[in-house]
């Protein structure tokens, strides 16, 4: 087989297995084992895989933050704390149709900063906000796009599981990744808000609520949640706690909030713990499979093939970066963010790290900049048909109230805004590195 034949065959077989519906972690590990046997790699390579699995996944304390943040989000969602915050914000900003739409964005930010779980955010927003948006005159497509996009902020705004995994894969500090994602996340929110205000400019004004009640409700229902977010993110960015320590603080704080609101119930805790174990096990299985895949893919010359392909498109640093971003965006139509992160980032990162983009970007700042660019790009994978997970979550939550074409049509403007923000972050790196 030719020099490029084995890497191409391995990549094609892996993609076919994933699209066929087999477990991603099993496909990645199985492809690695198969190509050790059919290539000229020694069978002792299996021992290397065991060592890499232990060093990169099983003994990585940073990854302990993943189940903790997942547990924190599930507690807030299942206990009704997140629902309570959404209703308070809708009451406070519900004096106009634009305010109603902005309230969905506000709660999307709070859910993102307190949980980082896209599925929970989209489903909760769909159940509570869709009827209010429709009553306010929003068409179905705009309502669908706003809900799906607001819920998807949970994958970018810290504390984000995606940023933790990206930081681990890039060997970049997670606090710097969190700090670098703050301005891009707020920039996305501003872009979404501008679109919402434009769409709502001709809609009828809604009745004003009593402002005294609104202020009191905001203090009661949003105060503890905002305090939790400030404690978790503030401790990480200020260097007072590692992401792992802060994740434990967040999980404990979420339980304290349920006690404060008198909605603490052991069945809720047990259910959240069970779902945390299942979700974390799925993530770690994919990480183990991806570790095996990356080692074997590089062993048979896959990294050289990718580098040659990128340089064939042009040797300029921004040309290479645009090709990488385009590849990630296209794969986001058919693959999940975790699969793309664990398969492609270890291959692309060493290539990007050697390029000179100017702006003083070298070393750690360069990796943080690239990591946040990848995160913003991967966020589109939740919205791009046909396999965008946010679209599935939304469709399942609303039943027959929204059709699939309406959902697809509604997310297109928001995907365009994400790509616009991505372009701004490439042109102005200080939007990412300014806070790191």
CA distance 231 to 72: 13
From the list 245, 247, 246, 63, the residue with the least C-alpha distance to 168 is: 63
CA distance 123 to 392: 10
From 29-33, 201-205, 427-431, the region with the lowest mean pLDDT: 201-205
pLDDT band at 86 (very low <50, low <70, confident <90, very high): low
pLDDT digits (tens, 9 = 90+) for 147-162: 889 888 888 888 788 8
pLDDT at 241: 85
Taking residue 420's Cβ as centre, other Cβ atoms within 10 Å add up to 13
Residue 1 has pLDDT above 90, yes or no: no
* Domain that includes residue 260, residue range: 5-433
pLDDT digits (tens, 9 = 90+) for 301-316: 887 777 777 767 766 8
Averaged over 85-91, what is the pLDDT? Answer: 69
Residue 409 has pLDDT above 80, yes or no: yes
The pair of three-digit structure tokens given for residue 218, joined into one six-digit string:
């905001």
3-state secondary structure of 364: helix
pLDDT digits (tens, 9 = 90+) for 222-259: 788 888 888 888 888 788 888 888 888 888 998 999 99
3-state secondary structure of 309: helix
pLDDT at 375: 93
Number of independent structural domains in the chain: 1
pLDDT digits (tens, 9 = 90+) for 100-126: 788 788 877 877 776 666 776 787 777
Averaged over 171-189, what is the pLDDT? Answer: 91
Task: Looking at mean pLDDT, say which of 6-10, 21-25, 225-229, 423-427 comes out highest.
Answer: 423-427
CA distance 61 to 236: 15
pLDDT digits (tens, 9 = 90+) for 255-284: 999 998 888 889 989 998 998 888 788 878
Torsion of CA 14, 19, 25, 26, to 10 degrees: -70
pLDDT digits (tens, 9 = 90+) for 48-77: 888 888 877 777 777 788 788 888 878 887
From the list 68, 335, 91, 48, the residue with the least C-alpha distance to 212 is: 91
Torsion of CA 277, 252, 378, 145, to 10 degrees: 100
φ, ψ of residue 326 in degrees (nearest 5): -65, -40
CA distance 302 to 323: 17
pLDDT at 353: 87
Quickly list DSSP for 104-170.
HHHHHHHHHHHT--HHHHHHHHHHHHHHHHHHTT--HHHHHHHHHHHHHGGGTSSS-HHHHHHHHHH
């Amino acid at each position: 087989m030719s020099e490029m034949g084995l890497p191409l065959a391995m990549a094609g077989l892996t993609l076919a297995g994933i699209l066929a519906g087999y477990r991603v972690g099993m496909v990645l590990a199985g492809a690695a084992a198969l190509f050790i046997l059919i290539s000229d790699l020694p069978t002792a390579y299996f021992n290397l895989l065991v060592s890499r699995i232990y060093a990169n996944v099983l003994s990585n304390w940073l990854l302990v933050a993943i189940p903790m943040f997942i547990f924190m989000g599930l507690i807030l969602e299942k206990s009704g704390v997140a629902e309570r915050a959404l209703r308070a914000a809708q009451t406070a900003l519900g004096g106009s149709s634009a305010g109603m739409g902005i309230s969905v964005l506000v709660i999307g930010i709070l859910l993102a900063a307190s949980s980082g779980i896209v599925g929970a955010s989209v489903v909760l927003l769909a159940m509570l906000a869709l009827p209010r948006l429709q009553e306010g005159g929003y068409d179905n497509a705009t309502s669908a796009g706003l809900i799906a996009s607001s819920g998807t902020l949970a994958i970018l705004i810290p504390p984000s599981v995606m940023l933790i995994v990206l930081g681990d894969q890039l060997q970049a500090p997670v606090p710097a990744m969190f700090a670098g994602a703050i301005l891009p996340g707020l920039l996305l929110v501003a872009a979404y808000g501008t679109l919402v205000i434009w769409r709502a400019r001709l809609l009828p004004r809604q009745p004003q609520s009593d402002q005294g009640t609104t202020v009191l409700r905001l203090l009661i229902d949003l105060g503890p949640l905002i305090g939790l977010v400030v404690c978790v993110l503030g401790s990480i960015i200020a260097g007072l706690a590692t992401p792992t320590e802060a994740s434990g603080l967040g999980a404990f704080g979420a339980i304290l909030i349920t006690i404060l609101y008198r909605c603490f119930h052991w069945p809720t805790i047990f259910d959240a713990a069970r779902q945390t174990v299942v979700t974390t096990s799925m993530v770690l299985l994919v990480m183990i499979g991806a570790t095996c895949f990356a080692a074997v893919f590089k062993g048979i010359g896959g990294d050289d093939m990718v580098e040659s392909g990128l340089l064939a498109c042009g040797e300029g640093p921004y040309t290479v970066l645009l090709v990488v971003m385009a590849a990630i965006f296209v794969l986001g139509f058919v693959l999940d963010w975790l699969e793309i992160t664990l398969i492609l980032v270890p291959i692309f990162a060493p290539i990007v790290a050697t390029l000179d983009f100017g702006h003083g970007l070298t070393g750690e700042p360069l990796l943080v900049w690239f990591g946040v660019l990848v995160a913003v790009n991967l966020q589109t994978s939740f919205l791009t048909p046909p396999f965008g997970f946010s679209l599935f979550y939304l469709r399942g939550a609303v039943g027959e109230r929204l059709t699939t074409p309406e959902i697809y049509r509604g997310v297109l403007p928001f995907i365009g805004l994400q790509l616009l923000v991505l372009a701004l972050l490439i042109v102005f790196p200080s939007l990412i590195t300014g806070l790191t």
